[in-house]
Structure 1
Amino acid sequence: METIPRITVESPVLSIGSGPSDYEALGSYVRGLRRPRGLHLTLLHLGVLADFARDVSEWTKGVTSVAAAARGASAWVQGLPVLDGFSGSAERLITLGGGSVAGLDVTVPEHVHNYQVSLVQALYELLDGLLVDSVDDFILSSRALGFRSPHWTPHVAVGSPKTRGGGVWEIEPLAIRFGESRIRNRQFLPGAGQ
């Protein structure tokens, strides 16, 4: 079964710790440790574009069509400002996604928090422009957006926890370098690269 790509704004991980062994040491806490090359910090999750557009159209009772919502969201996400690369750190692993994901709990600079807040504010403006009323309710109920919590937890998902039921594990402090932000699966957006 083919998975439909999700659209996110993320900062890719360039390095963790002082070498590969620092990252591999997380394997004592995590099953199926992800390859370092694909690691990232999600700044905003938009979800599958078609699902997001359908959510908007259903919420507005068709006043905003699926096509108009998809075009608007595509242009919006491609017009977002880019966050420069930055450094962060992690001193613990946490569980996310109901306990199925283990992630590095990342401490990021204040300007990264501010950037993420600006993305959420911009999302509110997009939804307002798409004629969505009760934006807070829409964000929390949209299946595509998948917001489960009102606050952002900066993290890098690294695998599945070895123990079920959630938890927090203290680890040796790790420095993490991130590259500039990008749109994951940008090539699947209408009008991308034009």
Structure 2
Amino acid sequence: MQAAPRITVEVPVLRIGSGPADYEGLGSRVDALRRQQGLHLTLLHVGVLEDFAQDVTDWTKGNTTAEEAIRMTVAWLEGLPALGGFSASTARLVLLGGGRVSGLEVEVPHHVRDYQVSLVKALHELLDEMLVDNVDDFILSSRALGFRYPRWTPHIAVGRPKTRDRGPWAIEPLAVEFGGSRIRNRQFLPAPDAG
């Protein structure tokens, strides 16, 4: 059985370094290096839509039903402003997910950080509309959202760590080109007027 798709707001990686060899060179530091096609930087993780809706229903003690939460979330996602493509850089390899994943820490332009902050603020507003009280507590406790850290660290997950050392590790600085923002797994969202 296929796992339900996770919904995120992300930007796709268009290029790392000046050519494929720059990225492939990371294979000396990372096991199971992911294909460059498909790499992305997550701006906001919503998680499995049904799980998120159930978290809202449980938190509001049924004052907001799962169906209402799904409908409101889909409309909210579809209405988010887009972020245009941008250039960034990376010079460090870090461990993510409790040390199970290697990632490139990305230095993003200030306007990208502002955009990410605006997404979190918009999420707060959505949860307010859903009658969620103590929104910050909800965000940190929602299993679907999966927020573990209060501060956003822009990163690109690239593979498995080769070592048990905690890092971080300096690498040769690389330029990174990103495309415009998109909703990952958008095709699995119900139509906005559904429900």
Give the TM-score of the pair, scaled to structure 2: 0.97
Q: Secondary structure at the match of 1:82?
A: coil
Given that 1:98 and 1:166 are in contact with CA atoms closer than 8 Å, whether structure 2 keeps it comes out as no
Runs of 4+ in 1 over 3 A off after TM superposition: none
| In 2: Cα distance, 1:178 partner to 1:193 partner | 31
| In 1: Cα distance, 2:83 partner to 2:54 partner | 29
| In 2: Cα distance, 1:57 partner to 1:193 partner | 20
Code of the residue aligned with 2:181 in structure 1: it is S
Sort the Cα spacing of 1:63 and 1:165 in 2 relative to 1 into closer, same or farther, 3 A. farther
1:184 counterpart residue number: 184
State the Cα distance separating 1:166 from its structure 2 match.
2.4
| In 2: Cα distance, 1:84 partner to 1:26 partner | 27
Task: State how 1:6-155 maps to structure 2 within 5 Å.
Answer: 6-155=6-155
Q: Secondary structure at the match of 1:180?
A: coil
Q: How many residues of Structure 1 are paired with residues of Structure 2 in the alignment?
A: 194
Sort the Cα spacing of 1:24 and 1:10 in 2 relative to 1 into closer, same or farther, 3 A. same
2:171 counterpart residue number: 171
RMSD over equivalenced CA pairs, Å: 1.3
State the Cα distance separating 1:192 from its structure 2 match.
5.9
Code of the residue aligned with 2:143 in structure 1: it is R
Given that 1:53 and 1:67 are in contact with CA atoms closer than 8 Å, whether structure 2 keeps it comes out as yes
Q: Secondary structure at the match of 1:37?
A: coil
| In 2: Cα distance, 1:151 partner to 1:50 partner | 26
Given that 1:94 and 1:167 are in contact with CA atoms closer than 8 Å, whether structure 2 keeps it comes out as yes
Would you say 1:159 and 2:133 are equivalent positions? no
Is the deviation greater in 162-171 or in 113-122? 162-171
Sort the Cα spacing of 1:130 and 1:42 in 2 relative to 1 into closer, same or farther, 3 A. same
Given that 1:186 and 1:192 are in contact with CA atoms closer than 8 Å, whether structure 2 keeps it comes out as no
